[in-house]
Amino acid sequence: MTLAEAQAGDQEAFAALFRDIQPSLLRYLQVIAGQAADDLAGETWLQVISGLAGFRGDERAFKAWLFTIARHRTIDWARSRARRQALPQKLGPADARQVMPDTADVVLERLETRSVLAAIATLPRDQAEIILLRVVAGLDAPAVARIVGKTPVAVRVAAHRGLRRLAVVLDQPGVTV
C-alpha cells in the first residue's frame, strides 16, 4: 500500500519507499559506478519521481523498474564520461576497484558490508551486477534477466559462477567473517 500512497502524493509513504530502497540502490551503484554512486542515485530518484504517477505494478515490479533506471543512468554516465575523457575507461569492477580497498586487503579485514561489496567488485562485471541485483536488491531471476537483457538461465549461470569465485576468496586462510 505504501507504493499506492506514494503515487497518490503521500510524502510519508514516499519517504518509507526511499528508506527501504536507497541503501540497496547505493550498494549496487557503489560497485558498478564507484564514486558517482551518490549522484547517480539522486538522478535515479528524480526520474522515478517524474514517472511515479504513471507506474503500474506492485512493489516488486517498482523495485525492478527503479534498478532498471539506475542501470540506464549508469550506462549513460559511463558513456558521457568516456566522451569527456579521451581514453575510454572500463565501468564496473575495474572502476570500483579504484575506490575500494585492494582485494588482498579486503580478504584480510573483517567482511563487513563495504568489504563484501569490494569483493563483489572484483568479479567480472556481469557476474557482479547480477549478484548485486539478486542478493542486494532482492530481485528474482526473471526480473534480473529483464534488467540485464539475458535469459533467466544465463542469469543463474552467471550468478553461480560469481558466487563460486567469491566463496574461493572468502575461503582463503586468514579470512574471518
Partner 1 sequence: MTGPDAPSGKMPRVPFPGRAGRDEDDPLLDLILDRQPLPASAPAGLLALADSFDGLATPPGTGEMPGQAAALAAFRRASWPASTRPTAAGSPGHRRRIRLRAGRARLSAAVAAVIMALSGTAVAGYAGALPASLQSFAHRMIGAPAPQHAAHHAHGAAEPRAGHPGSQPSPTHATSPAHRAKPGKKKAIYGRGHRSQTGKHAKKPKRAHPARPQPKAHPSRTPGPPER
Give residues in contact with partner 1 (CB under 8 A).
Answer: 6, 9, 11, 14-15, 18-19, 22-24, 26-27, 38, 41-42, 45-46, 49-50, 52, 111-113, 116-117, 119, 131, 134-136, 138, 141, 156, 159-160, 163-164, 166-168, 170-171, 175, 177
For residue 150, what is its C-alpha cell? Answer: 539475458
Query: Cβ of residue 48: shortest distance to partner 1, in angstroms?
Result: 9
How far, in Å, are 16, 28, 37, 70, 163 from residue 88 at the CA level?
Answer: 39, 22, 19, 21, 29
Closest CB to partner 1 among residues 1, 167:
167
Closest CB to partner 1 among residues 47, 82:
47
Q: Three-state DSSP class for 114? A: helix
Closest CB to partner 1 among residues 76, 140:
140
Closest CB to partner 1 among residues 7, 68:
7
Chain mean position to CA 121:
11
Neighbours of 135 (CB within 10 A): 16
Query: Cβ of residue 82: shortest distance to partner 1, in angstroms?
Result: 25
Which distant-in-sequence residues (6+ apart) come within 8 Å of 78 by Cβ? 33, 89, 91
Query: Cβ of residue 19: shortest distance to partner 1, in angstroms?
Result: 7
Dist CA 100 CA 30 (whole Å)? 9
